[in-house]
Amino acid sequence: MKASISYTTSPLLASKTPVWRSKFIVAALVLGFFALAVRAVDIQVVNNDFFKRQGELRFVRTLDLPANRGQILDRNGLILASSVIAPSVWATPEDVDISEANLVKLAKLLDMPTAELSKKLNNDDKSFVWLKRQVDVNRAKQIESLGIKGVYLRNEYKRLYPEGDAASSLMGFANVDGKGLGGIELAFNDDLSGRTGSRKVIKDRLGHVVENVGEQFLPVAGKDMQLSIDSKIQFFAFQKLRDAVLEYKAKSGSVVVLDVATGEVLALANYPVAASNKQSNLNGAQLRNRALTDTFEPGSTMKPFTAALALEKGFVKPETVIQTAPGRITIGGATITDAHPHDALTVSQVIQKSSNVGIVKMAMQMQASEMWTMFDQVGFGQKPQLTFPGMATGRVRPFKSWRPVEQATMSYGYGMSCSLVQLAHAYTVFARDGDMIPMTLVKRDTVAISQSVFSPKTASSIRSMLQLASGDGGTAPKAQTMGYSVGGKTGTAHVLEGKAYANKKYRGFYVGMAPIEKPRVVVAVMIDEPSNGKYFGGDVAAPVFSETVQQSLRILGVQPDLSVKPQMVAKAVEESF
């Protein structure tokens, strides 16, 4: 039997512990707790911001709540641009756990090489990387079904343009961040954009939202914009322009349709245009709206303005006879010629036959300052009062620097420049009985203030001359339109390359109005560098005018003023240029 042990009599317990050791242990414990308390104060009070930021970097996310961009509507409320939900794919690289098989599947769904996807997932920023912006909904569902850890979806808005190429040069486009780039999208970006909202959340390591933090700011949707454009007229004008550019193998072309009564732009079409569904890599040349941004010498389309000023000043009457034989005139050592010599012509016939000699003889009766003032009043040399990016001003030099030969050439459209929309707007002075109102791309609900330039009598006389120019014996019988009387003027100008005119490069124009007694629309057409053998404005631009005017007036509900189709002559008189 073992002897029992009494622990109370153990020598170890019987020995006395030094007092200093007990005090040391207690002091160490106190100091430890004090150090912990100091550290806690440092973390939670003194350096709270630093540790809070570190925590937020790991678990707190600020989620943008994208605003729905406003719609762009035509004058009748039809949609020209709208936004739809388009999920975007993003990832937290440090959390991504993906198998080789899923990597290949994901790359295929994102339309990118596997190597490119791997590079994105190994991004230097371990907390966030975009994998693909704005995928379609079905593809997003397939990506979600893969269940890849660290890969997420976020709803954004994608811009759609129902009118496609017909209105692309007018609309411009908005990028993936909802910012307008070009056209109406850029011009009215502030109104269309709205205001992005946001909310702060705490996410776990799996990316799940576990708690909202702080106040949530809801997005504010952008404003809708209603334009003056009629989508039906826009589409038809684009079609006819496209057909003409392709038929005459031209470099490009433009059409402008204006409402005479309101100053509203009903159509603004260009061809060729950048594909409406491939806008991410466009350059400035592809985005520009040529009808607004490109300038040219307007050629013979300026002759009616010179004749109108001569009528207004009382130098001539429509029936005044001007001797144009032998078909040439010398001014300051330079000889100006007609395409075909004529004998004596009335002022009306000078416009009908497009005689350079006749119009120069009228111009040289005037002061240079009088011509410059008239050009200025109808808008040449001034930036159009339209809300649109990149509009051209054109050029009309100060009259004090004009030499006699320059005054002569400007009377028939050389030595000055303008855009097609400026030319169309200027012709409204004849359509509106001598006054003008500002143009607008936004639907106008109020009557604009007009400015008088010519008397109603002068404007009426010019309309009669324009009707002659578009009929039998004029330069543009192909401008005649079934059911409607028309009047207008052709122009054919050499293309200026550097400081010299190209020998075989031309621009063909036609600008006119209908119905001629009380015009409702002005239409201007430009075909740039046609190359299949025809280049006169009466051949390449007038037919586009004819078809566009007819369709536009029908859409606007304007009653025909002719009972039968006018007789079309086989050959137009060639204009001088």
Q: Do 308 and 365 reside in the same domain of the chain?
A: yes
Question: What end-to-end distance do the CA atoms of the chain give, in Å?
Answer: 139
Q: Do 437 and 542 reside in the same domain of the chain?
A: yes
Range 104-107, long-range pairs (CB < 8 A, 24+ positions): 105/146, 106/131, 106/143, 106/146, 106/148, 106/151
pLDDT value at position 93? 87
**Of the ranges 25-39, 254-268, 477-491, which one carries the lowest mean pLDDT score?**
25-39
Cis bond before residue 326 (omega within 30° of 0): yes
**Does 176 reside within a domain?**
yes
**Does 347 reside within a domain?**
yes
Q: 470 and 479 in contact (C-beta within 8 Å)?
A: yes
Q: Give the integer Cα–Cα distance in Å for 190 and 174.
A: 12
User: Quick one: which of 510, 498, 500, 309 has its CA closest to 411?
Assistant: 309
Calculate the alpha carbon distances from 416 to 104, 255, 412 in Å.
Answer: 61, 21, 10
Q: Do 339 and 396 reside in the same domain of the chain?
A: yes
Q: Per-residue confidence at 10, pLDDT binned at 50, 70, 90?
A: low
Cis bond before residue 113 (omega within 30° of 0): no
Q: Give the integer Cα–Cα distance in Å for 252 and 527.
A: 6
Domain that holds residue 149: 62-109+128-226
Q: Do 344 and 485 reside in the same domain of the chain?
A: yes
Assess whether pLDDT exceeds 90 at residue 354.
yes
Q: Give the integer Cα–Cα distance in Å for 349 and 346.
A: 5
Q: 304 and 312 in contact (C-beta within 8 Å)?
A: no
Q: Which amino acid is at 90?
A: W
Q: What letter would DSSP give residue 378?
A: T
Which tens digits make up the pLDDT trace of 394-450?
Answer: 999 999 999 999 999 999 999 999 999 999 999 999 999 999 999 999 999 888 999
Q: Does 576 or 146 have the greater pLDDT score?
A: 146
Tokens for 217, please give them.
Answer: 């700011």
Assess whether pLDDT exceeds 70 at residue 552.
yes
Provide φ and ψ at 98, rounded to 5°. -135, 140
**Does 383 reside within a domain?**
yes
Which tens digits make up the pLDDT trace of 183-214?
Answer: 999 999 999 998 877 666 565 555 555 555 56
pLDDT value at position 567? 46
Q: Give the integer Cα–Cα distance in Å for 152 and 431.
A: 60
Q: Give the integer Cα–Cα distance in Å for 345 and 324.
A: 7
**Does 569 reside within a domain?**
no
pLDDT value at position 204? 57
pTM of the predicted protein model: 0.84
| Mean pLDDT of the residues in the chain | 87
Q: Do 323 and 197 reside in the same domain of the chain?
A: no
Instruction: Report the CATH number at residue 473.
Output: 3.40.710.10
Neighbours of 477 (CB within 10 A): 22
User: Quick one: which of 65, 121, 133 has its CA closest to 94?
Assistant: 121
Provide DSSP, 122-133. Answer: T-S-SS-EEEES
Query: What would the mean pLDDT of 60-73 be, rounded to a whole number?
Result: 79
Options 300, 411, 417, 470, the catalytic residue: 300
Provide DSSP, 388-451. Answer: -TT----B---GGG--HHHHHHHTTT-S-BB-HHHHHHHHHHHHTTTEE---BSB---SPPPPE
Query: What would the mean pLDDT of 136-159 be, rounded to a whole number?
Result: 90
Assess whether pLDDT exceeds 90 at residue 513.
yes
User: Quick one: which of 94, 285, 88 has its CA closest to 178?
Assistant: 88
Q: 483 and 456 in contact (C-beta within 8 Å)?
A: no
**Of the ranges 57-66, 436-445, 510-519, 550-559, which one carries the lowest mean pLDDT score?**
57-66
**Does 278 reside within a domain?**
yes
Q: Give the integer Cα–Cα distance in Å for 481 and 477.
A: 9
**Does 46 reside within a domain?**
no
pLDDT value at position 13? 58
Q: Do 237 and 221 reside in the same domain of the chain?
A: no
Q: Do 220 and 242 reside in the same domain of the chain?
A: no
Q: Do 200 and 239 reside in the same domain of the chain?
A: no
How wide is the angle at C-alpha 423 spanned by C-alphas 403 and 444, nearest 5°?
Answer: 140
User: Quick one: which of 375, 430, 425 has its CA closest to 402?
Assistant: 375
300 is catalytic: yes
pLDDT value at position 215? 67
Cα maximum dimension of the chain: 157
pLDDT value at position 58? 53
Q: Do 190 and 318 reside in the same domain of the chain?
A: no
Q: Per-residue confidence at 54, pLDDT binned at 50, 70, 90?
A: low
**Does 241 reside within a domain?**
yes
Q: Do 397 and 496 reside in the same domain of the chain?
A: yes
**Of the ranges 118-132, 181-195, 431-445, 550-564, which one carries the lowest mean pLDDT score?**
118-132
Q: Give the integer Cα–Cα distance in Å for 441 and 391.
A: 13
Beta strands 72-73 and 225-226 are parallel
Query: What would the mean pLDDT of 382-403 be, rounded to a whole number?
Result: 94
Q: Per-residue confidence at 521, pLDDT binned at 50, 70, 90?
A: very high
CA 435 distance to own-chain centroid: 29
Q: 184 and 170 in contact (C-beta within 8 Å)?
A: yes
Assess whether pLDDT exceeds 80 at residue 95.
yes
Query: What would the mean pLDDT of 229-242 be, rounded to a whole number?
Result: 97
Which tens digits make up the pLDDT trace of 303-346?
Answer: 999 999 999 999 999 999 999 999 999 998 899 999 889 999 99
pLDDT value at position 309? 98
Q: Report how many domains make up the chain.
A: 2
pLDDT value at position 570? 45
Q: Do 277 and 353 reside in the same domain of the chain?
A: yes
**Of the ranges 215-224, 240-249, 550-559, which one carries the lowest mean pLDDT score?**
215-224
**Of the ranges 41-55, 90-104, 295-309, 414-428, which one carries the lowest mean pLDDT score?**
41-55
Bridge partners, 452 (sequence order) = 435
**Does 563 reside within a domain?**
no
Neighbours of 325 (CB within 10 A): 12
Q: Do 337 and 196 reside in the same domain of the chain?
A: no
Domain-terminating residue out of 192, 207, 226: 226
Cis bond before residue 515 (omega within 30° of 0): yes
Instruction: Report the CATH number at residue 87.
Output: 3.90.1310.10
Domain-terminating residue out of 208, 226, 244: 226
Sequence-ordered alpha helix ranges (H) in 248-296? 284-287, 290-293
